[in-house]
Structure 1
Amino acid sequence: MANPANSTKSIDQREYEVVCRLLRALRTRAKLSQKELGERLNRPQTYVSDVELAGRRLDALQLRAFAQACGSSFTEFARRLDEALEVMPPPLAKKVAKKVAKKAPKKTPPRGE
């Protein structure tokens, strides 16, 4: 079983920033203010703001409601999210590790053995 102290919540991951940007884009494409979207969701404007600023994590049903309130669908949102994550560059740590590995001298076996 994974140690909870070592796990990272999705809201703290870089990928969740993509979720928030897509949700904001969904709202702005629908030409809705945060207040208007909040009214459609029966929530205050601050709820929408918190969601868009990654201060509030949404479950799948809430994501579906958000998309539908913007005149879209959960399926369409999920497709756009998947496309955005596919082209997302790897985390900086992976890039650094690859560069270090490329610069490390290659080990050669001793001659004559």
Structure 2
Amino acid sequence: MTKAIYRNEHQVLIKLLKAIRSNTGLTQNDCSKALGRPQSYISDVETGLRRLDLVQLRDLCAVLGYTLPQFVEEYEAALLTP
């Protein structure tokens, strides 16, 4: 099985996270500060260099104004969109 970071599903995940952050008007720095992390943390997530575990994803969703179930619903819909 191909590593997750090389799968289309991972690309959709990071593209969606970046789009949501951008749509909320938050910068990478804003999100990083809210999470108590350096700006490079969000940059690494959005470029696919850093993977998030479920707890980290939930924290990031909260900063973006989403619940984890809301995010997962959008993610699943994005996977179905060509």
After TM superposition, the score normalised by the length of structure 1 is 0.68
1:74 and 1:29 mapped to 2: Cα distance?
17
- 1:81 positional shift: 0.5
- Partner residue of 1:49? 43
Aligned pairs, how many? 82
Instruction: Flag as ranges the 4+ runs of structure 1 deviating above 4 A.
Output: none
Instruction: Structure 1 unaligned segments of length 5 or more: list them.
Output: 1-6, 89-113
**How far did 1:9 drift?**
1.7
On the 8 A contact 1:34/1:45 being kept in 2, the answer is: yes
After TM superposition, give the deviation of residue 87 of structure 1 in Å.
Answer: 2.6
Contact 1:34 1:49 survives alignment (8 Å) = yes
Q: Which has the larger radius of gyration?
A: 1
Conservation of the 8 A alpha-carbon contact between 1:26 and 1:67? no
Q: Comparing both structures, which one devotes a greater share of its residues to helix?
A: 2
2:53 alignment counterpart: 59
Per chain length, whose mean CA-contact separation is higher, i.e. which structure has more relative contact order (CA < 8 Å, sep 6+)?
A: 2
Deviations 1:37-89 (A, max 9, x none): 0000111110000001111111111111111011111111100010011234x
Identity %: 38
